[in-house]
Structure 1
Amino acid sequence: MSKAANPLEAPPVYLEPPIGEMMLEVVVIPVSDVDRAKRFYADLGWRLDLDFAADDGYRVIQFTPPASSCSIIFGAGITTAAPGSAQGLHLIVADVGTTCSKLRERGVEVSEPFHDSRGVFHHIDGQSRVHAAHPQRRSYGTYASFKDPDGNSWFFQEVTARLPGHEAPLPK
């Protein structure tokens, strides 16, 4: 790591004046087979919030991961993005190893825990990847990954202590 101040310890900086609260509520996931995707995300144990179908083939399915305030939506007629093009989506978990074990029991193919040798954030192409949990189990430092049937990529990131300015409760 460089000799510059550690950005992980710096207080949050926001635009002034504030433009109001903004909460990420929904992420659209492009899929090729709506029913296959629905089975996959149900098998993850995510809550099915909505399955709406219209006569013209339009369909919206919404799932919410456990304890998340952000949901995913996929379906027919809701995005022009190529199936599998959602990359690098992150889910915060309290223990990557336990989460991976539970998903494997459900038949989900999940990577082994890993960390980035540079210690800030993982590289999407796997460069600098070390196939083990962060040696000090530093918060934000251990990851695992999986893909849905279309290839949309997800990462688990282990967080045990929040950064300054991130007051959301941690997963249990």
Structure 2
Amino acid sequence: MRSIEIISIPVTDQQVAKEFYLNMGFSLIVEAPFQGGSNWIQLGLPDGGTTITLVNWFPELTPGSIQGFVIKCDDIDASIADLAAKGIETGKVDKTPWGRFATVKDPDGNSWSLHSN
């Protein structure tokens, strides 16, 4: 084993979620028909190895249940300002001994932590 390649993010509406993540700064890697009328939508961040796929076919994965995945930022303040300019709200910045963090949630409530030193 070498790395985590794809993380499934449970969403209610794949197209709404896709637009959110594109607005957040992800790039579309592939979108293709999948099973049961769903699409395989895979997105990634620049310079990132791990990608995400927006899923609605796993009954065990409830939309909004993902918490605590961390997105590395060079400058968390600049990232927050960029997101705010795009209409994406973040939580307040928490300062810890291991860095600064701010939360951002997708339309379903899946929660990401932005992080910088």
Q: Going by fraction, where is helix more abundant, 1 or 2?
A: 2
Q: Going by fraction, where is strand more abundant, 1 or 2?
A: 2
* Contact 1:61 1:74 (8 Å CA) reproduced: yes
The corresponding residue for 1:92 is 72
Question: Residues 115-147 of structure 1, C-alpha deviation per residue, up to 9 Å, x if partnerless?
Answer: 24xx3xxxxxxxxxxxxxxxxxxxx41111110
Tell me the TM-score normalised to structure 2 length: 0.90
Question: Residues 96-123 of structure 1, C-alpha deviation per residue, up to 9 Å, x if partnerless?
Answer: 111100111111011232124xx3xxxx
Q: CA deviation at 1:149?
A: 0.3
Q: CA deviation at 1:54?
A: 4.1
1:106 matched to 2:86: yes
Whose RCO is larger (CA < 8 A, sep 6+)? 2
The residue type paired with residue 33 of structure 1 is D
Give runs of ≥4 in structure 1 deviating > 3 Å: none
The corresponding residue for 1:144 is 102
Distance in 2 (CA, whole Å) between partners of 1:56 and 1:144 is 36
CA RMSD in angstroms comes to 1.5
Q: CA deviation at 1:157?
A: 1.0
Structure with greater Cα Rg: 1
- Tell me the percent identity: 30
Distance in 2 (CA, whole Å) between partners of 1:46 and 1:25 is 15
Number of residue pairs the alignment of both structures matches: 116
Paired residue for 1:47, among 27, 31, 48? 27
Are the structure 2 counterparts of residues 53 and 143 from structure 1 closer, same or farther at C-alpha, using a change threshold of 3 Å? same
Structure 2: runs of 5+ lacking an equivalent: none
The corresponding residue for 1:156 is 114
Paired residue for 1:74, among 42, 50, 54? 54
Are the structure 2 counterparts of residues 83 and 141 from structure 1 closer, same or farther at C-alpha, using a change threshold of 3 Å? same
Distance in 2 (CA, whole Å) between partners of 1:42 and 1:89 is 17
Are the structure 2 counterparts of residues 157 and 54 from structure 1 closer, same or farther at C-alpha, using a change threshold of 3 Å? closer
Tell me the TM-score normalised to structure 1 length: 0.63
